[in-house]
């Protein structure tokens, strides 16, 4: 892992309007993530994990403070600039996979590369390589409705990884998987983290995920309770 | 890229897409069909008017007004011989006939029996050996209960106002769509009418041949084809407007289906919209994708409409549409058959109308995407 800081959060606070008052989802968060980290935001529901992930992913912006991702201040980005940041540097994995039902596995994975205007040959090579990483190259022509939960999440990982992002944000990626599939998915992610030096940032309260993390940031009521570096417990 | 994605999404929507496409293609075909029929009817009415009544224009006595029967008495004159080249002379007088004891007012037209400009079968007047042979249209024959070979008493006044009467013989009955040369009209030889009315060399109007060179003649006025067809074209235009209400209603139903589908899509596919944005699509790109998806319904409708519409249009262009006898309910007389005219302008105009209107109704609901919060969209929380 090199020491390049690619995510820097300085006094990040996020408030939402609720009725006549405000709800504080995040309060004075200060964090930094280096390239190649395999870290997780852990905590109970409502602790602010997903909100923080969305800010880092430039889907949302802080009410106060600064979120610098890949050297760019999220609050200062235009819609187009934040779309470019997501397109080239950030991959997302969602709890419910969010695959496009009308596209095949290949087309789902290919989507980000089409947005990057890659040639058909480049796209094909990258997609097949990506499907190979997650072990579902033989399912390229299947529709998502024909896949099991584990296979669906592998497609989501392949879709996120195909563009070789610097940061991969995974929101409860194992919540809908059984233990066997969850471990298989996590092992795949860990291997990709090692091989491609991609920064993985999870939002989770799943013990299985926590077992794979190198760093755990415990959130409670929108505040950091503990930022913990974990010695390797599991080897891939 | 957006087109490919839009097509995939439409394909994925399955039956919903095909229902919308079906309604839209039907509207598309009906618009072309109705306009084609009106165009065909327009062309037919104008051709008939030219061939049966107005030729290449009319040079008429200044005192004569076709809409004023009181002008018939004095609305005639003598045109110098040097000025009547390439003109067919017609003298118009009023008369009464007495079929089966009834009195029927008629307009008595004297025409050069050697003319070949109009389709009126004046050759029958040439061939007849009767004292006063006459030709009449099918409407006139029906209303006066006359048939070929019948004789009927006719009374008229000569130029001095003296009444005279004689039997005329029906030498032939012609079939025309132009009511103005048929209903209440009797056609006899010009020479005979001039003699009967003591109006030697007098003429009410001349019908211009193709080679007629228009020139100013004192006491006469020339009405060109455009002037003479003005009323006909106005009536066709009214018909076109009333027909357009039918197809605009059809189009509105189809567009409403697209609008509805779009509103539903934007609401139902929030997660998908959030995912597109999280994968790096800009909001205008997502709005564009949904708009293209909606407007692509119209492209598919044109293809589907073409599949069943083109053979139908070709068949109708070739065989025409048979009109039941007496179906003169369009305000204008129709032939036994109308041959629709489907011009390139009509087809391209209709394609543009359908594509542009469907793009607009697709864009309107899609604009909402531009204001969506992607986080809420991903959660499917937008109401």
Given CB atoms, is B11 within the 8 Å cutoff of chain A? yes
A36-64+76-229 topology per CATH: Rossmann fold (3.40.50)
Given CB atoms, is A107 within the 8 Å cutoff of chain B? yes
Place of tokens 């600039």: A81
d(CA A158, CA A127): 8
Q: What is the pLDDT of residue A235?
A: 45
d(CA B280, CA A111): 10
Given CB atoms, is A234 within the 8 Å cutoff of chain B? no
Q: Of B334, B366, B347, B261, whose CA–CA distance to B306 is shortest?
A: B347
Q: What is the pLDDT of residue B37?
A: 87
Show Cβ contacts of residue A213 under 8 Å, excluding neighbours closer than 6 positions: A38, A39, A40, A42, A202, A230
Q: How many CB atoms lie within 10 A of CB A142?
A: 15
Q: What is the pLDDT of residue A1?
A: 47
> Tell me: the pLDDT tens digits for B199-221?
988 999 999 998 888 888 889 99
In the structure, what pLDDT confidence band is assigned to residue B325 with cuts at 50, 70 and 90?
A: low
- Joined tokens for residue B206: 């001349």
Instruction: Determine whether B276 is exposed, middle or buried from the number of CB atoms within 10 Å of its CB (0-12, 13-18, 19+).
Output: buried
Q: What distance lies between CA A178 and its chain's CA centroid?
A: 20
Q: What distance lies between CA A143 and its chain's CA centroid?
A: 23
Question: Mean pLDDT in chain B?
Answer: 87
Q: Are A72 and A14 in contact (CB under 8 A)?
A: no
From chain B residues 269-308, the ones with a CB under 8 A of any chain A CB are 271-272, 274-275, 277-283, 285
Q: Is A64 helix (H, G, I), strand (E, B) or coil?
A: strand
Place of tokens 């070739």: B318
CA distances from A234 to A183, A195, B2, B74, B174 (A): 11, 17, 44, 118, 104
Q: Are B207 and B90 in contact (CB under 8 A)?
A: yes
Q: What is the pLDDT of residue A118?
A: 92
What ipTM did this prediction achieve?
0.89
Percent of chain B at pLDDT > 70 equals: 96
pLDDT at B329 over 60: no
Ordered by start, the domain boundaries in chain A are 36-64+76-229
φ, ψ of residue B177 in degrees (nearest 5): -90, -10
Can you tell me the mean pLDDT for A169-175?
Answer: 89
Task: Report CB contact under 8 Å: A88, B279.
Answer: no
Ordered by start, the domain boundaries in chain B are 2-50+230-379, 57-223
To test the contact with chain B by mutation, choose from A55, A95, A102 the residue with the greatest count of B C-beta atoms within 10 A, namely: A102
- For residue A206, the 8-state DSSP code is -
> Tell me: the pLDDT tens digits for A179-220?
888 898 889 889 889 988 999 999 998 888 999 999 999 999
For chains A and B, CB pairs below 8 A equal 63
> Tell me: the pLDDT tens digits for B368-378?
887 788 888 88
Which range is most confident: A67-71, A226-230, B375-379?
A67-71
Q: Is A12 helix (H, G, I), strand (E, B) or coil?
A: strand
Q: Are A163 and A91 in contact (CB under 8 A)?
A: yes
Q: Which of B271, B281, B375 sits opposite A54 (nearest CB)?
A: B375
Place of tokens 């564009």: B288
Which range is most confident: A17-21, A45-49, A216-220, B33-37?
A216-220
């Amino acid at each position: 892992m090199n020491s390049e800081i690619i995510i820097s959060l300085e006094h990040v606070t996020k408030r939402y309007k609720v009725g006549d008052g405000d709800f504080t989802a995040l309060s004075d968060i200060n964090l930094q993530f280096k390239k190649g980290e395999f870290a997780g935001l852990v905590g109970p529901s409502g602790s602010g994990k997903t909100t923080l992930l969305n800010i880092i992913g430039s889907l949302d912006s802080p009410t106060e403070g600064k979120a610098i991702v890949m050297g760019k201040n999220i609050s200062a980005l235009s819609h187009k600039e934040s779309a470019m940041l997501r397109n080239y540097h950030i991959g997302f994995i969602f709890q419910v996979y969010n695959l496009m039902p009308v596209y095949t596995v290949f087309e789902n994975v290919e989507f980000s590369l089409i947005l990057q205007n890659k040639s058909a040959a480049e796209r094909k090579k990258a997609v097949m390589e990506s499907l190979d990483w997650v072990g579902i190259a033989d399912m390229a022509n299947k529709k998502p409705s024909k896949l099991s939960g584990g296979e669906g999440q592998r497609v989501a990982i392949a879709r996120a990884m195909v563009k070789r992002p610097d940061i991969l944000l995974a929101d409860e990626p194992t919540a809908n998987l059984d233990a066997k599939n969850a471990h298989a998915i996590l092992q795949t992610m860990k291997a990709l983290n090692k091989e491609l030096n991609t920064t993985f940032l999870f939002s989770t309260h799943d013990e299985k995920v926590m077992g794979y993390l190198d760093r755990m940031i415990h959130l409670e009521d929108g505040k950091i309770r503990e930022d913990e570096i974990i010695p390797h417990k599991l080897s891939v | 890229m957006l087109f490919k994605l839009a097509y995939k999404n439409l394909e994925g929507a399955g039956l919903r897409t095909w229902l919308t496409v079906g309604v839209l293609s039907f509207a598309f075909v009906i618009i072309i069909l109705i306009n084609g029929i009106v165009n065909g009817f327009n062309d037919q009415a104008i051709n008939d008017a030219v061939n049966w009544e107005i030729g290449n224009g009319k040079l008429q006595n200044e005192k004569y007004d076709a809409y004023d029967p009181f002008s018939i008495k004095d609305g005639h004159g003598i045109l110098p011989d040097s000025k009547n080249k390439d003109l067919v002379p017609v003298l118009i007088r009023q008369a009464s006939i007495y079929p089966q004891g009834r009195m029927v007012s008629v307009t008595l037209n004297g025409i050069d029996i050697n003319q070949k400009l109009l389709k009126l079968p004046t050759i029958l007047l040439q061939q007849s050996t009767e004292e006063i042979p006459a030709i009449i249209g099918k409407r006139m024959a029906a209303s006066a209960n006359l048939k070929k070979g019948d004789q009927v008493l006719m009374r008229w006044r000569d130029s001095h106002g003296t009444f005279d009467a004689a039997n005329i013989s029906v030498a032939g009955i012609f079939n025309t769509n132009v009511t103005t040369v048929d209903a209440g009209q009797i056609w006899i030889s010009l020479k005979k009418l001039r003699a009967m009315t003591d109006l030697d060399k007098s003429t009410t109007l001349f019908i211009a041949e193709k080679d007629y060179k228009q020139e100013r003649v004192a006491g006469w006025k020339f009405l060109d084809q455009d002037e003479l067809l003005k009323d006909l074209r106005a009536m066709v235009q009214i018909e076109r407007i009333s027909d357009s209400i039918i197809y605009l209603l059809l189009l509105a139903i189809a567009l409403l289906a697209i609008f509805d589908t779009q509103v539903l899509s934007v609401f139902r596919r929030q997660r998908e919209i959030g995912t597109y944005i999280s994968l790096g699509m800009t909001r205008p790109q997502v709005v564009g994708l949904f708009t293209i998806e909606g407007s692509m319904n119209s492209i598919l409708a044109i293809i589907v409409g073409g599949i069943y519409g083109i053979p139908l249009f070709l068949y109708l262009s070739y065989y025409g549409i048979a009109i039941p006898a007496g179906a003169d309910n369009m305000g204008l007389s129709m032939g036994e058959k109308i041959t629709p005219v489907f011009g390139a302008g009509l087809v391209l105009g209709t394609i543009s109308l359908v594509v542009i209107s469907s793009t607009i109704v697709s864009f309107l609901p899609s604009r909402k995407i531009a204001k969506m919060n992607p986080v809420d969209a991903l959660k499917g929380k937008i109401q």
